[in-house]
Amino acid sequence: MKNVSILIILLNFYHLVYAQKWESPKWETFKYPEINFQNKAENTEGWKIYKRIVPDPETFIQQHALWVAQTLYWSASDSIPNVEKIEYTLEDVDGISAKGGQPPVVNIFYSSRWVEKSETSEGDDKVLYETRGVLYHELTHAFQLEPQGAGSYKQGTEFWVFIEGMADAVRYHNGFFPVSSRKAGGHWMDGYRTTGFFLEWLTCKDPDFLRKFNKSTLEVIPWSFDKAMKHVFGDQVTTDSLWDEYQVFLKK
C-alpha cells in the first residue's frame, strides 16, 4: 500500500512538472540551473529511501527551483538572481539541510539521517512531504533578494529575520507546513516559522505580498521591516500593528 501511495504522488508530481512548463508563458524563458547531484550517503538507509521517492533528483530540484521563483517573482524577466548551478549533495551527517555559496553557484546539502528519521516516523509520504518542504526553504535562499543597508546575516537582526522568515513563508505558501503548526504567540522577530507564517498570512491582504516584500529590498534602501511594510501597505501600518492583527486572527 505504501508503494502504491508514493507512486500516485510521484505520478501527480511529474504531471505537474510538464503542465507547469506548458501552461506558464511568463516563465518560458526561465533559466533552469544546472544541477550537480552527488550522493555522499552511499549504502545508507536514508539514500535507499531518497532514491525510492526521488528517482530523478535533477528534474525534481529544477522544477522546485521554478516554483520558488514563481512564488517570489511575477515573471522570468524580473530581477532574479542568476543561479546557474546548484551543487546538491545527500550526506550522511546530522542536521537537516543548509544552503551555502552565492549565485551563480550555490550548494545545498540534505541529511540522509533526516530522511531516515522522517521515514521511520511516518513512512514514504512523510519523507516526500518533508523533502519537498526543506527543498523549498533552501531554494528560497538561492533565489530570494537580500535587504540592503540592513546589516548582515546574524541571528536577531532584521536581515536574518527576513532571510529565514521568507524561506519558511515560501515553504508554507506552497503547502509544506501543516496549518496546525501555526500558533499564536511569539514575536515577528523570531524568524523561521513564526515569521514565515506571519508573512504568508499577509497574502490574505495582498495576494502578491511575498513578491512585493521580496522586491522591496530593491526599492527600500536602507531596508527595514517597518519601511518595507509601509512600502507595500501604506504609511498607516507598522509591522507591530500587522502582527497584532495577525495574533487576533489566530486566537479566533
Instruction: Encode pLDDT of 97-126 as tens digits.
Output: 999 999 999 999 999 999 999 998 788 999
DSSP character for 44? -
Residue 233: the pLDDT is: 99
As a whole number, mean pLDDT of residues 164-190 equals 97
- Check whether domain 30-143 has CATH 3.30.2010, yes or no: yes
Report domain extents, the chain: 30-143, 147-251
- pLDDT at residue 6 tops 60: no
pTM of the model: 0.91
- pLDDT at residue 9 tops 70: no
Residue 22: the pLDDT is: 41
Distances (CA, A) of 213 to 12, 71, 80, 157: 31, 11, 14, 17
Backbone phi, then psi, for 107, in 5-degree steps? -125, 145
3-state secondary structure of 108: strand
Distance CA 14, CA 177 (A): 21
Distance of CA 85 to the CA centre of its chain: 18
Instruction: Encode pLDDT of 42-98 as tens digits.
Output: 999 999 999 999 999 999 999 999 999 999 999 999 999 999 999 999 999 999 999
Angle between helices 124-143 and 112-122 (to 10 degrees): 140
